[in-house]
C-alpha cells in the first residue's frame, strides 16, 4: 500500500516521501481495518516533521498524519458496534497518512451517513480542542462572554460554533478586515480586527459584561490584549503560538488583577479520556453545518510536496487517499 513516510527531521517539503509498504494485514479480534479517505495537513504535522513537536515517532522512517476519516473494510471477530462500510473518524495520533489503518475498534468513532466527509476528516484535532477549551477550565453558562484570537483558524471557527451551540457569547479577533463578515456569519457575536484599540472596542461592544475566558492561539502581544479585557481573576488559556513569539502579559494584569494563565495540549493524559465524548459533540455540529472549515485544495499523496508548500502559504489542505 501507499503511505507517506517521515524519513528524517527537517524541512517538511524535503523529508516527507510517498512510499510503498506492506499492508497491515487482517484485523485482530478487537480491531478494524480502515481505508483512509481524507486527511488534512495540520501545523502539528509540520512541527512533527521538523522534530519540534512534543510527541514524535519512536523511530524513523514513520507514518505521520494526526487525523482523518475512512471507510471500514474489515472487522475483528469480537467487534459488534462497527460494520464494514461504516464511515469512521480515525483515532488520535500520527497514523493517518496511509491507504490503510488498523487499530483497536474502540479508538474509532462511527460517523453519521449524512456527514460531510471532508469536514469529518478534520474532526479529531481542532473541533475537539474547541470542546475541551470551553469545558475543562472554567464553568461557562448561557450568555457568558469569552474572547478568542486567531478566530479565522480551524480551531477558532470550532470554538465559535461550540460556543454558539451552548449559548455562550463570543468576541472574535481576526487579522484582516475582509473576513469580519465571514466570521460573523460563522456565529461570532462581535468580530474585531487586531489592533491596539481592542480594549476600548470591547468595552463599547459589551458594556459592563464580564469576559470570563480568553483563548489564545497567537501568543506575543496578542496575549496581553486578552489580559486587558478578561475580568479580574479571570482565565486565559494558551494553546498555540501562531505569532512565533512567547506570550507577553503585563505584570499589572498578572499580579494586581489576578490573571490565571493555563496551557492546553490535546494529548495531556487527563484530556485523553474526554476525546471520544468531545468528538461526538463536534461531529453533531459538523453534521448540522455549524462547523464548516473552508478547504483551499485537495491533493493526492504523490503531490505531498506541493500540498505542504500550499499549507505553508496558507489555506486548509486535504490529502485524498
CA 228 – CA 254 distance, rounded (Å): 10
Question: Catalytic: 267?
Answer: no
Closest among 95, 70, 104 to 84, alpha carbons compared: 70
Q: Cβ–Cβ contacts within 10 Å for residue 271, how many?
A: 18
Closest among 99, 123, 98, 107 to 31, alpha carbons compared: 107
Closest among 137, 138, 192, 135 to 165, alpha carbons compared: 135
Greatest Cα pair distance, the chain, in angstroms, is 62
Looking at 9, 38, 53, 268, which residue is catalytic? 53
CA 286 – CA 223 distance, rounded (Å): 29
Burial class, 213, CB count within 10 angstroms (exposed 0-12 / middle 13-18 / buried 19+): buried
**Catalytic residue ranges:** 53
Amino acid at each position: 500500500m501507499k503511505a507517506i513516510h517521515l524519513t528524517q527531521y527537517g524541512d517538511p517539503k524535503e523529508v516527507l516521501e510517498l512510499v510503498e509498504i506492506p499492508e497491515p494485514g487482517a484485523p485482530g479480534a478487537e480491531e478494524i481495518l480502515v481505508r483512509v479517505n481524507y486527511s488534512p495537513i495540520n501545523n502539528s504535522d509540520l512541527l512533527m516533521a521538523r522534530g519540534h513537536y512534543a510527541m514524535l515517532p519512536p523511530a524513523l522512517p514513520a507514518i505521520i498524519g494526526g487525523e482523518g476519516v475512512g471507510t471500514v473494510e474489515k472487522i475483528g471477530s469480537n467487534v459488534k458496534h462497527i460494520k464494514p462500510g461504516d464511515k469512521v473518524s480515525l483515532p488520535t495520533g500520527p497514523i493517518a497518512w496511509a491507504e490503510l489503518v488498523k487499530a483497536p475498534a474502540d479508538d474509532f468513532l462511527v460517523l453519521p451517513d449524512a456527514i460531510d466527509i471532508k469536514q469529518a476528516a478534520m474532526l479529531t484535532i481542532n473541533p475537539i480542542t474547541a470542546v475541551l477549551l470551553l469545558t475543562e477550565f472554567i464553568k461557562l453558562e448561557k450568555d457568558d462572554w469569552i474572547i478568542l484570537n486567531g478566530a479565522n483558524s480551524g480551531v477558532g471557527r470550532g470554538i465559535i460554533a461550540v460556543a454558539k451551540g451552548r449559548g455562550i457569547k463570543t468576541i472574535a479577533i481576526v487579522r484582516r478586515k475582509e473576513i469580519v463578515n465571514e466570521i460573523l456569519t460563522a456565529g461570532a457575536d462581535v468580530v474585531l480586527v487586531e489592533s491596539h484599540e481592542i480594549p476600548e472596542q470591547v468595552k463599547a461592544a459589551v458594556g459592563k459584561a464580564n469576559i470570563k475566558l480568553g483563548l489564545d492561539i497567537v501568543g506575543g502581544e496578542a496575549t496581553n490584549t486578552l489580559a486587558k479585557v478578561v475580568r479580574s481573576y479571570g482565565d486565559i488559556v494558551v494553546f498555540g503560538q501562531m505569532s512565533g513569539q512567547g506570550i507577553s502579559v503585563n505584570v499589572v494584569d498578572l499580579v494586581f488583577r489576578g490573571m490565571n494563565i493555563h496551557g492546553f495540549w490535546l494529548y495531556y493524559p487527563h484530556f485523553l479520556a474526554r476525546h471520544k465524548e468531545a468528538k461526538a459533540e463536534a461531529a453533531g455540529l459538523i453534521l448540522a453545518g455549524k462547523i464548516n472549515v473552508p478547504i483551499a485544495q485537495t491533493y493526492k499523496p504523490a503531490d505531498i510536496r506541493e500540498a505542504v508548500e500550499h499549507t505553508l502559504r496558507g489555506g486548509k489542505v486535504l490529502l485524498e487517499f
